[in-house]
């Protein structure tokens, strides 16, 4: 039998294994949601600064760069989420040696992957920008923005990976504080670079890049805190454990990569049908969608440490309760965002545009009138995909992820415009989310927590 370290310190009032379900969920979810909202607000603030102080062409340029960034983030999330779930299971078993080992290996692989992608992206940047569909009108804007984002990508990779492991190690508040600091720094730097120094879209890129250091520095302090259970070590485990972590994080990889591909498809369709104004309008929709999505990602992220720890000790009844709580929270958020969009669409769109750019505003208003049901459904689908990831069931999680973020939206974009014209473009994602929800509910009913927990516990003896 392997020796374990029993020095893990968790506030007993919010222990995922023994604490009250709702209170514990709130303890993990609220900081996670606040952190995700902080990151989202940073992106939205970028959009507000760019749209109001640079123009709709620059707004479109940011969205044209999004698929490349999503492909990079997909690999990071696959490693960070999969590794932190394994870490949480080991911490539930009080095996801090194995937890520390998977943390160290995951961080090394994530940063190494980020460095490789940075090098390749910068080397072939001109070809990449053309592949993304940039026209002559916006090509220089996309190049200037992506150069800086790619250059600082390894810092963001390290910070984001550490964020997931700090949360798994029982300090969700610190993880949220780091993301809030990132948002605050980004706003301040945007004000300096974009408004006062008039650096344009390049200033927004520098603001985001430099703000990433705030996350890294704050999270690094966790490893000097007495409650830290993780350390940098390679004393236990194998490098192949990272492959298993990546396999378990497959749905997150698919989610992020698929988002990038769907944005790419949408950009191609919109720039063909409605020009740069159409791409700018879609960019505004994606900014608005980010609000509900990031709250849902925050809720789903809170499932990973709570479910994985209960998985480690074999308590499927608590897993089911945490899932039900998370789904109710995600749907409530989606309902609130939908109501706001339907009640105040012009005010929401006006945040990102100068009053003179009415062509883009009109397209965005029509887009919202068809697109709003997406917000009711996507949070629940994201939560259910994350649930299966936390259960170490990557295939059902990946099935949900690929259905909602690539397969069904892609089919919708190809087929629906043939029958419905532009309305088919607007309806592609809402219909995809509806069909995905039907699939997700079927999988939840079919796959019981008891079976998943027993399977995971059996597999844990291999480490």
Binned at pLDDT 50, 70 and 90, residue 433 comes out as very high
Domain that holds residue 426: 20-460
Binned at pLDDT 50, 70 and 90, residue 449 comes out as low
pTM here is 0.65
Does residue 130 lie within any of the structural domains? Answer: yes
Does residue 416 lie within any of the structural domains? Answer: yes
The pLDDT tens digits for 10-60 are 555 666 667 777 777 777 777 777 767 766 666 677 777 887 788 777 877
C-alpha distance from residue 141 to each of 9, 57, 136, 269, 357 (Å): 49, 8, 10, 20, 19
Binned at pLDDT 50, 70 and 90, residue 117 comes out as confident
The pLDDT value given to residue 251: 66
Q: What is the C-alpha separation between 33 and 247, in angstroms, rounded?
A: 25
The pLDDT value given to residue 437: 94
Place of tokens 């980004």: 186
Regarding predicted confidence, which is higher, 44 or 213? 213
Percent of the chain with pLDDT over 90: 5
The pLDDT value given to residue 442: 92
The pLDDT value given to residue 313: 66
Does residue 169 lie within any of the structural domains? Answer: yes
Task: Kindly state the average pLDDT of the residues 79-83.
Answer: 83
The pLDDT value given to residue 4: 34
> Is pLDDT at 460 greater than 70 in this prediction?
no
The pLDDT tens digits for 219-260 are 988 888 888 888 888 877 788 888 888 887 776 677 677 777
Does residue 380 lie within any of the structural domains? Answer: yes
Place of tokens 């703000």: 211
C-alpha distance from residue 67 to each of 261, 264, 298, 411, 434 (Å): 6, 6, 22, 18, 24
Does residue 267 lie within any of the structural domains? Answer: yes
Give the number of C-alpha atoms closer than 13 A to the C-alpha of residue 290, restricted to the C-beta side.
22
The pLDDT value given to residue 435: 95
Q: How many domains does the chain have?
A: 1
The pLDDT tens digits for 311-328 are 766 677 777 788 888 888
The pLDDT value given to residue 414: 84
Does residue 124 lie within any of the structural domains? Answer: yes
Does residue 9 lie within any of the structural domains? Answer: no
The pLDDT tens digits for 162-204 are 988 988 887 878 887 887 888 888 888 988 998 888 888 889 8
Q: What is the C-alpha separation between 17 and 280, in angstroms, rounded?
A: 47
The pLDDT value given to residue 434: 94
Does residue 13 lie within any of the structural domains? Answer: no
Binned at pLDDT 50, 70 and 90, residue 108 comes out as very high
The pLDDT tens digits for 276-292 are 777 777 777 777 777 77
């Amino acid at each position: 039998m392997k020796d374990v370290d029993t020095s893990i310190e968790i506030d007993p009032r919010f222990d995922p294994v023994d604490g009250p379900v709702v209170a514990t969920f709130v303890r993990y979810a609220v900081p996670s949601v606040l952190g995700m909202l902080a990151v989202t607000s940073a992106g939205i603030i970028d959009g507000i600064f760019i749209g109001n102080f640079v123009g709709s062409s620059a707004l479109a340029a940011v969205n044209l760069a999004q698929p490349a960034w999503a492909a990079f983030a997909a690999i990071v999330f696959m490693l960070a989420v999969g590794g932190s779930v394994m870490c949480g299971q080991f911490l539930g078993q009080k095996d801090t040696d194995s937890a520390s080992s998977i943390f160290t290996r995951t961080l090394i692989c994530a940063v190494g992957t980020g460095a490789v992608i940075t090098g390749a992206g910068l080397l072939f940047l001109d070809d990449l920008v053309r592949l993304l569909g940039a026209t002559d009108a916006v090509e220089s804007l996309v190049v200037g923005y992506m150069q800086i984002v790619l250059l600082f990508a390894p810092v963001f990779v390290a910070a984001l990976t550490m964020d997931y492991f700090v949360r798994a190690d029982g300090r969700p508040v610190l993880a949220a504080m780091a993301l809030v600091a990132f948002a605050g720094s980004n706003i301040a730097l945007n004000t300096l670079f974009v408004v006062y120094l008039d650096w344009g879209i390049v200033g927004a890129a520098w603001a985001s890049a430099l703000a990433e250091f705030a996350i890294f520095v704050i999270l690094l302090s966790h490893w000097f805190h007495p409650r830290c259970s993780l350390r940098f070590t390679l004393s236990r485990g194998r490098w192949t454990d990272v492959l298993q972590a990546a396999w378990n994080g497959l749905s997150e990889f698919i989610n992020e990569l698929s988002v990038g591909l769907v944005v790419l498809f949408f950009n191609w369709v919109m720039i063909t049908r409605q020009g740069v104004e159409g791409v700018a309008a879609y960019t505004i929709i994606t900014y608005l969608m980010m609000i509900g999505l990031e709250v849902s990602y925050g809720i789903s992220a809170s499932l990973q440490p709570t479910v994985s720890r209960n998985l480690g000790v074999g308590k499927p009844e608590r897993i089911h309760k945490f899932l039900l709580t998370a789904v109710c929270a995600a749907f409530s958020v989606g309902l609130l965002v939908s109501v706001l969009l339907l009640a105040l669409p012009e005010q929401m769109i006006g945040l990102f545009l100068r009053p003179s750019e009415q062509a883009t505003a009109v397209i965005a208003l029509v887009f919202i009138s068809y697109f709003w049901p997406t917000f009711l459904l996507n949070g629940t689908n994201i939560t259910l995909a994350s649930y299966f990831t936390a259960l170490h069931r990557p295939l059902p999680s990946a099935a949900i992820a690929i259905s909602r973020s690539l397969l069904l939206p892609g089919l919708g974009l190809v087929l629906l415009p043939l029958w419905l014209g532009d309305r088919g473009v607007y309806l592609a994602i809402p219909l995809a989310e509806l069909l995905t929800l039907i699939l997700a509910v079927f999988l939840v009913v079919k796959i019981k927590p008891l079976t998943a927990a027993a399977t995971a516990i059996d597999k844990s003896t291999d480490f």
